[in-house]
């Protein structure tokens, strides 16, 4: 293998495809805006079709649309002729990808789609092709040359089609007012979903799991409670659960440096008054920020009245996948 020749060819591919994508910018015109309006007005789903390499790109575009607030799915044109056309309704919008605009499997179903009355947007590299002519709207993804040195393998053309699809998805996302929280709801298993959907109340320790003692408790009682609950802290509260302070593993180590009788010393004498706290309705990611900002390992969860609702430590956030 000639390493110099390989690197030269690879760089040529990058330059060719980059130039093809750059040329796409001038084609973001009124037709593109009209395509966005058709999709926004759609009362059904966006059905994306394509054969071969265009089919792979069509599947990715459908997935991107669906995850960014535009319900969409992919249909294989060959399977459409064998029953899958039943998946398409008159309320849908069909986005069809074909670089040549003359793909047989696509051309076969155009008359059926027309009779069904669905709006059809074509994405081709040939503005005068059959598909472009019969569609309600055409998006031009023509490229000057493929990056393949033989000029045969779909390379630049598939890249440009993918970018046009991304441009549609992002433009629609903005038009719909789609937010990061909306994105998270479509991705609950991903880290972003966990960071934006998990609230403190979902992961905090509450009820009998809370390490808590009264202000009149001894240091010994507090240590026993903290050890039993194994969260590295204990909350100190009044009779009506108003938070008075917190005592942590770190406080214990500092206490041991001094001369105290744990049985006779009230916890109120050695606790940290107040303590860092957070609301149960806050997002878990906010707890991460608080822990990092104040360099602590745990937080008290309190309501608007200052009453203890739960406790939370860094390990809870790790287990929830928030960090």
Concatenating the DSSP letter of every residue in 183-218 gives HHHH-TTSHHHHHHH-BHHHH-B-GGGS-EEETTSB
Q: Are residues 48 and 144 in the same domain?
A: yes
Q: Are residues 146 and 234 in the same domain?
A: no
Residue 180: the pLDDT is 63
| Percent of residues, the chain, with pLDDT higher than 90 | 64
Q: Are residues 38 and 154 in the same domain?
A: yes
Per-residue pLDDT tens for 41-75? 999 999 999 999 999 999 999 999 998 889 999 99
Residue 183 counted as domain residue: no
Residue 26 counted as domain residue: yes
Q: Are residues 149 and 16 in the same domain?
A: yes
Q: Are residues 34 and 112 in the same domain?
A: yes
| Structural domain span for residue 282 | 200-319
Q: Tell which of 119, 148, 178 closes a domain.
A: 178
Residue 211: the pLDDT is 94
Is the pLDDT at 205 greater than 60? The verdict is yes
Q: Are residues 35 and 156 in the same domain?
A: yes
Mean of the per-residue pLDDT values of the chain:
89
Structure tokens at 53: 């390499």
Distance (Å) of CA 159 to CA 60, 98, 153, 214, 274: 12, 13, 12, 66, 57
Residue 195 counted as domain residue: no
Residue 183: the pLDDT is 65
Region of 320 on the Ramachandran plot (φ > 0 left; ψ -120 to 50 alpha; else beta) = alpha
Structure tokens at 91: 């309320």
Find the mean pLDDT for residues 161-177. 92
Cβ neighbours for 274, distance < 8 A, ≥ 6 positions apart: 243, 244, 245, 246
More confidently predicted of 16 and 153? 16
Q: Are residues 94 and 221 in the same domain?
A: no
Residue 191 counted as domain residue: no
Residue 174 counted as domain residue: yes
| CATH of residue 227 | 3.10.580.10
Separation CA 91–CA 173 (nearest Å): 20
Q: Are residues 141 and 280 in the same domain?
A: no
Q: Are residues 83 and 116 in the same domain?
A: yes
Is the pLDDT at 188 greater than 60? The verdict is no
Per-residue pLDDT tens for 261-297? 888 889 988 898 988 999 999 888 888 888 888 888 8
One-letter-per-residue 3-state SS of 146-163: CCCCCCCCCCHHHHHHHH
Number of domains in the chain: 2
Q: Are residues 232 and 263 in the same domain?
A: yes
Distance (Å) of CA 101 to CA 4, 118, 129, 141: 38, 18, 5, 11
pTM of the model as a whole: 0.66
Residue 235: the pLDDT is 94
Is the pLDDT at 196 greater than 70? The verdict is no
Q: Are residues 160 and 224 in the same domain?
A: no
DSSP H or E run through 115: helix 104-116
Residue 23 counted as domain residue: yes
Q: Are residues 128 and 72 in the same domain?
A: yes
């Amino acid at each position: 293998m000639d390493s110099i020749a390989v690197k030269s060819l690879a760089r040529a591919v990058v330059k060719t495809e980059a130039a093809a994508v750059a040329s796409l910018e001038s084609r973001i015109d009124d037709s593109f805006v009209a395509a966005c309006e058709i999709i926004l007005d759609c009362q059904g789903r966006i059905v994306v079709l394509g054969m071969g390499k265009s089919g792979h790109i069509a599947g990715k575009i459908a997935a991107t649309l669906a995850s960014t607030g535009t319900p969409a799915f992919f249909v294989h044109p060959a399977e459409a002729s064998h029953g899958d056309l039943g998946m398409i309704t008159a309320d849908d919008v069909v986005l069809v990808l074909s670089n040549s605009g003359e793909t047989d499997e696509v051309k076969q179903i155009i008359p059926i789609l027309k009779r069904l009355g669905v709006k059809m947007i074509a994405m081709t590299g040939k503005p005068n092709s059959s598909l472009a002519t019969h569609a309600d709207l055409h998006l031009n993804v023509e490229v000057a040359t493929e990056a393949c040195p033989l000029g045969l393998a779909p390379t630049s053309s598939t890249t440009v089609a993918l970018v046009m699809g991304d441009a549609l998805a992002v433009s629609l996302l903005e038009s719909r007012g789609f937010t990061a929280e909306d994105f998270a709801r479509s991705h609950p298993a991903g880290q972003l979903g966990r960071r934006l959907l998990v609230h403190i109340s979902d992961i905090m320790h509450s009820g009998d799991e809370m390490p808590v003692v009264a202000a009149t408790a001894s240091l010994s009682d507090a240590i026993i409670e903290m050890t039993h609950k194994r969260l590295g802290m204990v909350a100190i509260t009044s009779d009506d659960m108003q938070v008075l302070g917190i005592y942590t593993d770190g406080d214990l180590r500092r206490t041991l440096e001094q001369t105290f009788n744990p049985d006779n010393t009230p916890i109120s004498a050695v606790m940290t008054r107040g303590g860092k706290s957070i609301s149960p309705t806050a997002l878990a990611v906010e707890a991460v920020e608080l822990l990092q900002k104040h360099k602590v390992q745990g937080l008290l969860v309190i309501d608007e009245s200052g009453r203890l609702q739960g406790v939370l430590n860094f390990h809870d956030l790790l287990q929830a996948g928030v960090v």
